[in-house]
Each structure stands twice: as structure tokens, then as C-alpha cells.
Amino acid sequence: MTETLEFTQQRSDRPKSAEERAAILANPGFGKHFTDHTAVVDYKVDADGSGGWSNARIEPYGPIMMDPAAAVLHYGQEIFEGLKAYQHDDGSVWTFRAEANAARLNTSARRLALPELPEETFIESLRQLVAADKAWVPTGDGEALYLRPFMIATEAFLGVRPAHEVSYRVIASPAGNYWGGELKPVSIWLSDRYSRAGEGGTGEAKCGGNYAASLAAQLEAEANGCQQVLFLDKFNDNAIEELGGMNVFFVFKDGSLVTPELNGHILHGVTRSSVIELAKDRGLDVQERKITIDEWRDGVAAGDITEAFACGTAAVITPIGELKADGWSIASPSAGSGEVAMSIRQELLGIQTGAVEDSRGWLTRLA
């Protein structure tokens, strides 16, 4: 079945007032406020075993009615995506590499035994939601409407098997600067007690369970005065994997840019792949390879590693200030400046916001 689903439209009869919306947009924060509408598409497996998507709709934002036995509430059969819509100077609204998010949603769906969603339906759900909530797209510097597509198993059944009823939804949240205010280098805690992912696990899938599993490590980070956690692969010479929700890069003095290779445990970040392309076009020697925590520590000590940074849709690119571990630490030589990181960040944000020409066809117009 390849036909694109038509979205029916039900407008909220209780949208937030223009004043309330203006107050939120003046200081959106991150992930705290939501727009007036939501996109929904249902999936059902019929008696003959064949499944299909139907009932695509825009409806008022509000609580989800769900049976307490819904599979997602018990076994965590859930996946999600995250991408941003930026308003350009002429008032048009664009999203960045949405096809990559559509493809990754389906990679995650296969791993979590959820149904794949056609790419056209994914893009159309974003387009319809942004059309309904265009007044919610923030216009401040670097601000955007954060889009959160997700898929949940809604079938009421306590047996353990892939659910026969699933719901795909999109919510939207105006987003200011992820870290609030100016861009400060993040401090990172090295978790040597917990892993984020393992061989054959779900590390490559964008699923809620990965985040639930990272929270204990995140608490440990906060107790040690850090903002984020770095996970290693203990069974592979303490190879660096990634942060709880961001990929990592290292800038070397000799002009190379190193990031951990996609080994099945690491999330395929769209920002990661964009940084790689932009860096290659600048003539940097980009290496996707194994890099261990010892190489980072020794590289900084010897002056070979000049910057470390983290990247993901929410925060775009953020310099890493310091890595703290139990009994030792690595102080980033770049603390604050991070010339390469900041320059790539500026180009990437420029493309997303329309200030820099999109020569790679990365943007899709939503409204």
C-alpha cells in the first residue's frame, strides 16, 4: 500500500490565548510547553494478520485515553524521534533532513518490533501539525519548534509479543536555547558503573528504554556536579561510545576530526552525520573509528587533542569543558572557545535557519 494518508483536521476549541502564547514564546525553555495540536495515525493488525495505518488526523493537544493494560505501559514498546522546524526570514518554516529521521524511525521500529511508517506519512504529519500550529514557531535567534514524533504500543494485552494496535503521534514544543542563555561548555561524568548499550542490544534504536536506563547514571553525574554522562564500552578497551543523548567528536591538532564508529551500540545521529559532511567539505580528515578513554586522556595531556564536543538536534553542538571520573579528570584545553566546534556549529545553524545556502538539499519546507 503506497497511497499517502490524508489527514483530517480537528481544531482545538480551547487553544491557548495569544497572550499566553506570547508569554511562552518570550521564554520557551526546552520541552516545557506544548502547542495546541497533535498529529495521530493508528495502526492495527487485522484478523487475517495483515496490518495497516489509518485514521490520520490532527486533533487538539491533550491527554491520551489508554487502557491500563496497554503494552507500552508494561513492556516499553516505544520509539521516538526528535527534529526541529525553523522559521526563515520570509516567514516560511523548514525542517532539517526529515527523511533521515523518517528512516531512523523505521530502523528503530524494526528493532522494537513496531510497524514501519511510510516516509511520506512521517513528513506529512509534520507538515500538517506545523500548519495547524504555525503561530508557535519561535523566531528568536537559534530558536525553533522542536518536533517529537513517537510510536507506542496501545493494545491492551499482557502477553509478551509485538502489539497488534499501535499509535504514531507527533507533539511540538517551542524551544529556546537548550542549555538556557549563552553557550557554555558542558561538564561530563564518566560512568564506569553503568552501560547505555551492549552488543545486540537496543543502543542503535531511539527508544525510551535507553533513556530510562541512563537515568541512574545521570543522577550520578549530577551528584558529581556534571551535566551529562559519557558511556564507554567496557568490553572493548573502554572505547568511547556517546553521551546519554548526544554523539561526541574530538578535534586533533593535526587537523583530523575523530568520532566513534557506528558499531551497533551508537545512535546514528543526524547531527553527527551532518557534522561529518560539513567537516569533510572543509578538508578536515574525518575518521570514524574506535577511540578509547585513554587516547582522549593522553591526547589532551600531550596537546594532540585540542577540542572535544557533543552534538545532537536539541543542543546542536556544545563544547565539552571537562570530563570527570572517579578520582581523575580531563580538563578540555578548549574550554570555552572550541574554535572548530563553534565554526561548524555556526554553519550548521546557518543552514537550518536559512542564513547559509542549503547546497545539499537538507531542508524541507513545512509551511
Q: Which residues bind ligand PLP (CB under 6 A)?
A: 82, 206, 242, 245-247, 267, 269-272, 312-313
**Closer Cβ to ligand PLP, 77 or 247, answer by number:** 247
Smallest distance, ligand PLP to C-beta of residue 314, A? 7
Smallest distance, ligand PLP to C-beta of residue 102, A? 12
Question: Cell triple for residue 41?
Answer: 495515525
3-class DSSP state of 33: coil
Smallest distance, ligand PLP to C-beta of residue 124, A? 20
Question: Cell triple for residue 236?
Answer: 572493548
**Closer Cβ to ligand PLP, 197 or 293, answer by number:** 197
- In sequence order, which residues have a C-beta less than 8 Å from that of residue 40 and are 6 or more positions away? 55, 56, 57, 58, 59, 167, 168, 169
**Closer Cβ to ligand PLP, 270 or 284, answer by number:** 270
Q: Which helix (H) or strand (E) holds 355?
A: none
**Closer Cβ to ligand PLP, 70 or 240, answer by number:** 240
Q: What is the 3-state secondary structure (H, E, C) of 148-190?
A: EEEEEECCECCCCCCCCEEEEEEEEEEECCCCCCCCCCEEEEE
**Closer Cβ to ligand PLP, 56 or 311, answer by number:** 311
**Closer Cβ to ligand PLP, 166 or 248, answer by number:** 248
**Closer Cβ to ligand PLP, 129 or 229, answer by number:** 229
Question: Cell triple for residue 297?
Answer: 586522556
Smallest distance, ligand PLP to C-beta of residue 354, A? 20
In this structure, how many other beta carbons lie within 10 angstroms of the beta carbon of residue 281?
11
Phi then psi dihedrals of residue 75, to 5 deg:
-115, 5
Smallest distance, ligand PLP to C-beta of residue 200, A? 17
Pairwise CA distance, residues 367 & 93, whole Å: 5
Smallest distance, ligand PLP to C-beta of residue 207, A? 9
Cα dihedral: 303, 313, 25, 90 (round 10): 100
Pairwise CA distance, residues 113 & 107, whole Å: 10
